[in-house]
Amino acid sequence: MSVTKHTSVFRAVQLRKEYGKGEGLVRAVDDFNLDVAAGETLAVTGPSGCGKSTLLHLLGGLDRPTGGEVWLGGRRIDQMSERALARMRRYSVGFVFQAFHLMDELTAVENVELPVLLAGRSPRAARRRASELLEQIGLADRARHLPSALSGGQRQRVAIARALSNEPLVVLADEPTGNLDSSATMDVLRLFDNLHSVGQTLVVATHDPRIAATADRMISMRDGAFVDETRLAGGTSGRLAALVGLEG
Amino acid sequence: MLAMLAKQRAHGYQLRARLGQALGALGDEMNAGQIYVTLGRLEKAGLVVSQHSAGLPDRPDRKLYGLTAAGHQRVSEWLTEVSWPKPDLVEFHLKLVAAAAARLADPVAIVDIQRRELLRRLRDAQRAAMAEPDHSDGALLLEGVVLRLQADLRWLEACERKWIRGGSAS
């Protein structure tokens, strides 16, 4: 197994993903280079269809690139066997989707413990881990509710807890607030902020500027390619009073 | 107005037409007098020079106006200035129109600068909002700030789309 010299969690090198051929060729991701440091929150933004979801799928091993390399935790994953890739996804990556993708027949706590059970841990350990996570996201009292009895924001928090259940190297979230109202979005942002403070690496594809604004770094994509990078951490622009018009 | 002169010198009435084209219906609300008063002030400030055209009556609208070196300098500075939260959409819009017309700067780059600034402000407001207790008065005010910034950012997206496609239809 080859190991990179980099300390980055994620690394994409000249990543390409093409669909179709000839006239109908679409370059969904076009010669993309990326490094994500451990503990970093990265937002990938751009208009819909710019390739940010495809990029996320390639990074998480849900899809294979047409060319280039993907490294996760020092291992090259784009050439792994299906079996190894499935294992890697189970242990190293947590996915969060716009439409939550919870199992409707399972309660909140059962949804969260499922990946732990699939990873071969004992039912007892799985339940303990799931309860712990629900506690962390402030939904311990909803543990035995079915998803249908939860609000959108609560469902998404359960989905985030599920993504964290096997202590992944990285959480990949694809438009996590796309279906949420303003206050539920705030809850998810607070949760991401907590994850960030405990050092969880997080990559979020989003066109929600509130998520982009709270990330450490934001990259913009257009037509599958990298167009701009902004570091938002640290350099605050000024005083809040000026924002509300109390100051010049 | 200075920026409208950056592309080439113009008579007062041409300047009016350029502004009218850039502003659409909003431009109709501007009267001609305002333009000549402003031009007079800019001339006094040394940013604009005027020239009589031979054979034409000595009226302000018949003069040919152009930028001095100081005027050009002022325009370049103005294009890259970030002026928010005073939500002067007209001014920002004119920056993009003028930058594209006179090829002084890439309008998309100006949008990028502005977006970065707005995202920083959104970040500050969002952080402050997350720190407020739910349903507090302070949280409500900050929600207003966040929503306004989001609206501004959406408008910047529209600006970006337009100027990437090659800019003004005129």
- Report, as an integer, the average pLDDT of B86-108: 81
> Which range, of A81-85, B113-117, B150-154, averages the lowest pLDDT?
B113-117
Interface of A with B (CB under 8 A): 47, 182-183, 186, 189-190, 193, 209-210, 212-214, 218, 222, 228, 230, 232, 235-238, 240, 242-245
Q: What count of other Cβ atoms lies within 10 Å of the Cβ of residue A46?
A: 22
Integer angstrom CA distances of residue B2 from B29, B84, B93, B136: 19, 20, 14, 46
B116-164: pLDDT as tens digits: 888 888 888 888 888 877 777 777 888 888 888 899 998 998 888 888 8
Task: List beta partners, residue A229.
Answer: A219
Dig out the tokens for A9 from the structure.
């969690």
Give which of B81, B86, B126, B132 to mutate to test A binding, by max A Cβ within 10 Å.
Answer: B126
A244 vs B contacts (CB less than 8 Å): 141, 144-145
3-state secondary structure of B31: coil
Residue partners of B51: CB distance under 8 A and separation at least 6: B9, B63, B64, B65, B66
The pLDDT assigned to A247 comes to 45
Token digits of residue A159: 């989905």
The confidence score (pLDDT) of residue A3 equals 46
User: Is residue A80 classed as helix, strand or coil in its secondary structure?
Assistant: coil
Tokens read off for A187: 């809850």
Whether residue B120 and residue A209 make contact (CB cut-off 8 A), yes or no, is: no
User: To the nearest whole angstrom, how far is the Cα of A88 from the nearest Cα of chain B?
Assistant: 34
Q: Phi first, then psi: what are they for A219, rounded to 5°?
A: -115, 140
* A34: pLDDT strictly greater than 70: yes
Distances (CA, A) of A99 to A159, A193, B95, B117: 10, 21, 40, 31
| Whether B111 contacts chain A with CB within 8 A | no
For the whole model, what pTM was predicted? 0.76
Q: Please indicate whether residue B141 or residue A194 has the higher confidence score (pLDDT).
A: A194
pLDDT at A5: 46
- Measured in angstroms, the CA of A38 and the nearest CA of chain B are apart by 21
* Residue A191 near residue A181 (C-beta atoms within 8 A): no
Tens of pLDDT along B19-47? 877 777 666 667 778 888 888 888 888 88
Give the residue among A35, A36, A32, A34 at the shortest CA–CA distance from A14.
A32
φ/ψ (deg, to 5) at A65: -75, 160
What does the pLDDT read at residue B168? 47
| Single-letter residue type at A1 | M
Which among A177, A181, A185, A186 is the top mutation candidate for probing chain B, defined by the most B β-carbons within 10 Å of its own β-carbon? A186
Residue bearing tokens 């924001």: A153
Of A47, A213, A244, the CB nearest to B119: A213
- Give the distance from residue A214's alpha carbon to the nearest chain B alpha carbon, in angstroms: 5
The token duo for A186 is: 């705030």
Q: Taking residues B57-65, what's their average pLDDT? A: 72
pLDDT at A235 over 60: no
In chain A, the percentage of residues whose pLDDT exceeds 90 is 61
Q: How far is B122 from chain A (nearest CA, A)?
A: 6
Q: Does B156 touch chain A (CB under 8 A)?
A: no
- CA–CA distances in Å: residue B132 to residues A19, A177, A190, A226, B127: 46, 20, 11, 35, 9
Task: Please report the pLDDT score of residue B58 as a whole number.
Answer: 64
Identify the closest residue of chain A to B164 by CA–CA distance: A222
Q: What is the DSSP string of B113-137?
A: HHHHHHHHHHHHHHHHHHHSPTT-H
In this predicted structure, what is the pLDDT of residue A133? 94
Across B56-74, average pLDDT: 79
Class of CATH domain A37-53+84-233: alpha beta
Q: Please report residues of B whose CB lies closer than 8 A to that of A214.
A: 123, 126-127
At A6 the pLDDT is: 46
- Choose among B129, B143, B150: nearest Cβ to A209: B150
Interface A:B, Cβ pairs < 8 A: 62
Q: Closest-CA residue in chain A for B116? A: A230
CB A58 within 8 Å of CB A70: yes
Contacts of A43 (CB under 8 A, 6+ apart): A204, A205, A206, A211, A212, A215, A217, A218, A219
Distance CA B45, CA A171 (A): 58
Look at residue B19 in the predicted model and tell me its pLDDT. 80
CA separation for the pair B170, A1 (Å, rounded): 60
B122-133 burial: b if 16+ Cβ within 10 Å, else e: bbbbbbbbeebe
> Which residue from B112, B126, B144 is facing A210, i.e. has the nearest CB?
B126
B159 to chain A, any CB pair closer than 8 A? The answer is: no
Q: State the ipTM, two decimals.
A: 0.74
Distance between start and end Cα atoms, chain A: 59
Separation of alpha carbons B144 and A4, rounded Å: 46
Q: Which residues in chain B are closer than 8 Å to A242, comparing Cβ atoms?
A: 85
Closest by CA position to A215, among listed A229, A224, A225: A229
Q: How do residues B45-56 score in pLDDT, each as one tens digit?
A: 888 888 877 666
For residue A162, count CB atoms less than 10 angstroms from its CB and return exposed for 0-12, middle for 13-18, buried for 19 or more. buried
Residue A248 pLDDT exceeds 60: no
Mean pLDDT score of chain B:
80
